[in-house]
Chain A
Amino acid sequence: MATGADSIIRTADGVPLKTSLRRATARRRVRTFLLVVPILAFLLITFVFPVIDMLFRSVDNQIVSSVLPRTTLAIQSWDPASEELPPDFVYEALVLDVQDSFEDKTLGRAGRRLNYEQSGVMSLFRKSGRRAKRITEAPFKDQVIAIDNRWADLEIWQLIHQESSKVTASYFLSAVDLQIDYKGEISWKAEERRIYLFLFYRTLWMSALITVFCLLLGYPIAFLLATLPSRHSNLLLILVLLPFWTSLLVRTTAWIALLQSEGVLNDLMVFLGIISEDGRLQMIHNKFGTFVAMTHILLPFMILPLYSVMKTIPSSYMRAARSLGASPFTGFVKVYMPNTVPGIGAGCILVFILSIGYYITPALVGGRTGTFISNIIALHIGETLNWGLAAALGVILLALVLLLYFLYDRIVGVNNMKLG
């Protein structure tokens, strides 16, 4: 300091005041931090790391190069566009790799990975694995082709060449129904194999419609909750919250019991003569079932933010509007509704985001036509074990949610959102 040491203000024990203050705030900061360490650690381990892992898995492609290290190295010297089979030393590398990996039982993993891109590779690898140990000396090419003449096809070598790099875009491309060939050209998959874009589209429009249903059903209830005397509104609030205390599975299966063709609703309509015995309606395991069950399950997430916002709107607003000459309807539309926009925004974004990632209900009541993208992700995680594709689909879903949130922030403003 230019004015000299004496101008520094010191505390009673001679420490400069600045230092002393900094120490005190630092201590407080450490204490605050220690309080959140457990939850932070919990979230890191159970949420952040898995998400990061998922991000890596969606582009990770180390299986082929780790199972077939010699082959993937050797094939780099071959030009996949050359219309010629790779030279003999590539076949030699393949034989050695297959012998090794058959021994330590990793060959199947590479086979499954390549099978995602081209069906039949799995069985080719299995067959070659069993027979490759008999090949011991050159020339390798003919002996390998003798095992299975698919080794004489250019496609399999083009595929191995393409998938020998450690990262790949092929999961992401598949997730949007695209494919890449050995030349690096991207093209649409065959018509009958395009499913994901359609599922994304269905997930989005069905979620949007579910959000609209929730808003239409939830708004009047929230309004009642906020305006009724507390004696009645407390009871109503309990009714709104009741679903939260019931298991999700119970609620979903209850809809199955109600809506199935031998279910309560159909029986009632047959009994009342509205429909004939043969004309029982199919109301479950299709889109209709998903709409009904999802709207019911997500309704509280719409009502509660709306209610919390409406609760803060003074009753004098409506009275003022009416005293100023607005009819009850005009007053409601021009004064009350604009003040509930933060609640509408919060409820809609909450329901929509929950909805596009919803899994259990569409899985149970959606049938073939009412399932969401999350159901196909679950399928790839649990059954086909194509985790890379599942991860890519998950990343796209995550990006979609973030994009929508960003748009919402641009249009409505997140600060205008009120959750309670």
Chain B
Amino acid sequence: MKDLNLSIETGEFLTMLGPSGSGKTTCLMMLAGFEPATHGEIYLNDRPVNKVAPHRRNIGMVFQDYALFPHMTVSENLAFPLRVRRTSKADTEAKVKRALEMVRLPAFGNRRPAQLSGGQQQRVAVARALVFEPDLVLMDEPLGALDKNLREEMQYEIKHIHEQLGVTVVYVTHDQSEALTMSNRIAVFDDGVIQQLASPSALYEEPENCFVAQFIGENNRLYGKVTSVEGSYCRVALDGGGTVFARKIKCEGEGARTILSLRPERVVIAPAEDGTDNSIVGRVQELIYLGDHIRARLAVAGNDEFVVKIPNTERQVDLREGMDVDLGWAADDCRALDAPGQGAQAG
């Protein structure tokens, strides 16, 4: 972990997203107190918690393997955090009942965790992390063990619970669609550093560097060199030939290498004359019919993996593999980013 500076607002749903080994889980464990922070301070409600033991931090946690206690019933599991806090019996019962209703399992209190399905266990784990009204709830890839449909269902459920209770959640995942679905803000981690911290739409629409552009959603890359800078725009000579007018986001001035990032759905096939800022020719390599859209893979300026998503509408162009087509896009959609590891190397 390096130079991590992160402030989380009360009631926020913040997701730490990143490939495995990027430091997101370490960061979560530091918040929970299971990993020591070698230096720096962690504050919870303006209270420094570095030296506070995990059980005194009042932070709820949901684990990837749920960590429900197998020797207790569901109700006993939920009552556990209340019992160790010496909550009165009547109070405990009421809170357990309310928590079970919240996760829509009111009749399951007397079952053992082993008698529940994966999704039900997950809900109990969420309820248990919330039942003692913690200041903060941490979730460590809680949906990782569920199948795809259930995972999506649970995403909405957790999101709704969060909205209902207004509790602060820090969520760790490596699944970007999960992060986009649930979060207020997403911190994209790589190599122990937050690459970008922004709302889901800003992350997708305005990635600030090459890693984020590549990690979130689908992305076309074009390599090139800046030839001139015009205000917040720049002109880039592509390595495979041709010039592109792009928004200058994160690249040095004239002569610097850059990677252009372009979303597949922002490319227009056969644009009207002068309709777009950029126009370039590509050769169709492959066409895949996907119902709502057609996915075309083209060779553009030496890049064989240039993908265009063509919406399945009436005005679609008839494409054939091996055909040359005109492509166009707006300069605002094409972002000139840093070129990590590219240096002065050509091509």
Q: Which residues on the B side are within 8 Å of A326 (C-beta)?
A: 55, 80-81, 84
B212 part of interface (Cβ distance < 8 Å): no
The distance from the CB of B42 to the nearest CB of chain A, in whole angstroms, is 15
Docked-complex contact B128 and A324, CB < 8 angstroms: yes
B67 part of interface (Cβ distance < 8 Å): yes
Q: Which residue of B lies closest to A337 (CB)?
A: B71
Q: Which residues on the B side are within 8 Å of A339 (C-beta)?
A: 69-71
17 A-B pairs with C-beta separation under 8 A? A316-B65, A319-B54, A319-B63, A320-B67, A322-B33, A322-B55, A323-B54, A323-B57, A323-B60, A324-B55, A324-B60, A324-B132, A325-B55, A325-B56, A326-B55, A330-B84, A341-B71
How far is B64's CA from A314's CA once the two chains are assembled, in angstroms?
Answer: 11
A320, A323, A328, A341: residue with the most chain B Cβ atoms closer than 10 Å = A323
The distance from the CB of B214 to the nearest CB of chain A, in whole angstroms, is 32
Q: Which of A325, A328, A338 meets B132, CB within 8 Å?
A: A325
A18 part of interface (Cβ distance < 8 Å): no
Q: Which residues on the B side are within 8 Å of A327 (C-beta)?
A: 53, 55, 84
B100 part of interface (Cβ distance < 8 Å): no
The distance from the CB of B172 to the nearest CB of chain A, in whole angstroms, is 14
The distance from the CB of B72 to the nearest CB of chain A, in whole angstroms, is 8
How far is B55's CA from A338's CA once the two chains are assembled, in angstroms?
Answer: 20
B96 part of interface (Cβ distance < 8 Å): no
The distance from the CB of A324 to the nearest CB of chain B, in whole angstroms, is 4
Contact residues of A: prevailing secondary structure: helix
A54 part of interface (Cβ distance < 8 Å): no
Which parts of A242-269 form the interface with B (CB within 8 Å)?
none
A178 part of interface (Cβ distance < 8 Å): no
B residues sitting closer than 8 Å to A (CB atoms) are 32-34, 53-61, 63-65, 67-71, 80-81, 84-85, 128-129, 132, 138
A198 part of interface (Cβ distance < 8 Å): no
User: Nearest 8 CB-CB pairs, A to B?
Assistant: A320-B67, A324-B81, A323-B61, A316-B67, A338-B71, A322-B54, A316-B63, A322-B55
A335 part of interface (Cβ distance < 8 Å): yes
The distance from the CB of B268 to the nearest CB of chain A, in whole angstroms, is 50
Q: Which of B53, B57, B63, B132 meets A320, CB within 8 Å?
A: B63
The distance from the CB of A342 to the nearest CB of chain B, in whole angstroms, is 10
Q: Which residues on the B side are within 8 Å of A334 (C-beta)?
A: 80, 84
List 16 additional contacts besides A325-B84, A326-B81; criterion CB under 8 Å.
Answer: A314-B65, A319-B54, A319-B67, A320-B63, A321-B69, A322-B34, A322-B53, A323-B59, A323-B60, A324-B55, A324-B60, A325-B58, A325-B81, A325-B85, A326-B80, A335-B69
How far is B84's CA from A330's CA once the two chains are assembled, in angstroms?
Answer: 8
A317 part of interface (Cβ distance < 8 Å): yes
The distance from the CB of A22 to the nearest CB of chain B, in whole angstroms, is 37
Q: Which residues on the B side are within 8 Å of A324 (C-beta)?
A: 55, 60-61, 80-81, 84, 128-129, 132
Q: Which residues on the B side are within 8 Å of A321 (C-beta)?
A: 55, 69, 80
Q: Which residues on the A side are within 8 Å of B55 (C-beta)?
A: 321-328, 331
Q: Which residues on the A side are within 8 Å of B32 (C-beta)?
A: 319, 323
The distance from the CB of B129 to the nearest CB of chain A, in whole angstroms, is 8
How far is B129's CA from A323's CA once the two chains are assembled, in angstroms?
Answer: 8
